[in-house]
Amino acid sequence: MGERRVIGWAARDTTGLLSSYSFNLRKTGPEDVVIKVLYCGIDHTDLHQMRNEIHSTNYPLVPGHEVVGEVEELGSEVRKFRVGDKVGVGCIIGSCGKCSSCKSNNEHYCADRIFTTGGTYPDGAPTHGGFSSTMVVHQAFVVRMPNKLAPEQAAPLLCGGVTAYSPLKQFTKGYSNEDVLRVGILGLGGVGHLGVIIAKAMGHHVTVISSSSKKKEEALEHLGADSYLVSSDSAEMEAAAGSLDYILDTVPAHHNIKAYLSLLKVEGRLVIVGASPQPLQFIASDLILGKKTIGGSFIGSIEETEELLEFWAEKGLKTMIEVVKTDYVNKAFERMERNDVRYRFVLDVAGSNLH
């Protein structure tokens, strides 16, 4: 299949403002899936990329890496999908397939991974994401949607959801089903709210940690968290010292992680999944004296993404989303930056006028 002209919304410079953009999709190969985009989640990483804040951005940039769509065409060697299937695409659309990461279902850690948006194909052509009418993706990086999962509900799971799911799943290794892990979710934004829902569904005791009390009722009454901790309240922080097995740090901006290390038990772990553009700092003795560790986790594998979608559908869980059209997308990013969304925007691509 030859190249086809499609319409998307793209950022042209570091202002990050999006506008209509026409471009050619790459040619469809034998193992490719042509996807009509239905919905696409709006993620904080999109904003960082649009503004050239985390790595060198090539403009024009079409964002969007939480893509839910419908299969329109199949390459001659695709057997996993059929035309009409509902499918998803996350942050990665390519890898080398040969390294130890790829061979252990950790293709997202491959040194030659290709990002869905802002990446580069082997021939040097740029990748464009789900803020567009159509995508072409290799079948290995396309996941099937469970039938009972609404497509707009599924979109935030493809990055934000699996970003929380992967480390939360790792936390449970080495523990029996009788053990109730005490997990702190730092930050109650797009990833954080999904982390609370997933951790509760896994049977963990969940404490939401936030800088103010304004989301307390939301966390406890609507998301089902067990407790709420205001990090700016020194008395609350002191009372909670040494109470948590793990902390999932979802904050995508600069913050002081030293204060949160005190909340961990001996051998506790703080895992960072929020991509702060600025360096984070801590004092070595805060780790040494409690045998504590700071780690990182990057999204999740294709296998984990499929696991999460099935887990979500099986448990009957619900994402908290606000669906918007493309003519509102710049306003949505402004609101997201102010934390003025509960808790994730989803772009209705198929229902929008992209021109």
| For range 156-169, the mean pLDDT | 97
pLDDT score of 56 = 85
| For range 2-20, the mean pLDDT | 92
DSSP 311-340: HHHHHT----EEEE-GGGHHHHHHHHHTT-
pLDDT score of 176 = 65
pLDDT score of 252 = 86
Q: Do 261 and 292 form a contact (C-beta atoms < 8 A)? A: yes
Neighbours of 352 (CB within 10 A): 18
| For range 197-223, the mean pLDDT | 95
What's the Rg (C-alpha) of the chain? 20
- 160-294 homologous superfamily: NAD(P)-binding Rossmann-like Domain (3.40.50.720)
| For range 53-60, the mean pLDDT | 88
β-strand partners of 74: 33
Q: State what percent of residues in the chain have pLDDT above 70.
A: 98
What confidence tier does 263 reach under pLDDT thresholds 50, 70, 90? very high
pLDDT score of 179 = 76
Nearest to 184 by CA among 271, 108, 303: 271
Q: Give the helix/strand (H/E) hosting 164.
A: helix 160-171
Q: What share of the chain is helix, strand, coil (3-state, %, to 5)?
A: 25, 25, 45
pLDDT score of 44 = 86
> Which residues, including other chains, have CB under 8 Å from residue 73's CB and lie 6 or more apart?
1, 28, 33, 34, 83
pLDDT score of 275 = 83
Q: Do 115 and 91 form a contact (C-beta atoms < 8 A)? A: yes
pLDDT score of 173 = 77
- The C-alpha atoms of residue 93 and residue 138 are separated, in whole angstroms, by 7
pLDDT score of 245 = 96
Give the predicted TM-score (pTM) of the model: 0.93
* Residue reference for tokens 């239905």: 38
pLDDT exceeds cutoff 70 at 174: no
pLDDT score of 1 = 53
Neighbours of 12 (CB within 10 A): 14
Q: With H, G, I as helix, E, B as strand and everything else as coil, classify residue 234.
A: helix
β-strand partners of 185: 208, 248
Q: With H, G, I as helix, E, B as strand and everything else as coil, classify residue 293.
A: strand
Assigned CATH for 2-158+319-346? 3.90.180.10
- Tell me the pLDDT of the chain averaged across its residues: 94
Q: State what percent of residues in the chain have pLDDT above 90.
A: 87
- The C-alpha atoms of residue 35 and residue 130 are separated, in whole angstroms, by 10
| For range 133-162, the mean pLDDT | 96
What confidence tier does 2 reach under pLDDT thresholds 50, 70, 90? low
| For range 210-226, the mean pLDDT | 95
Low-confidence winner among 165-169, 176-180, 226-230, 289-293 (lowest mean pLDDT): 176-180
Residues of the chain with CATH 3.90.180.10: 2-158+319-346
Instruction: Give tens-digit pLDDT for 67-98.
Output: 999 999 999 999 999 999 999 999 999 999 99
What confidence tier does 247 reach under pLDDT thresholds 50, 70, 90? very high
**What Cα–Cα distance (Å) separates residue 119 from each residue in 68, 95, 231, 285?**
19, 11, 37, 39
Residues of the chain with CATH 3.40.50.720: 160-294
pLDDT score of 342 = 87
In the chain the first and final C-alpha atoms are separated, in Å, by 24
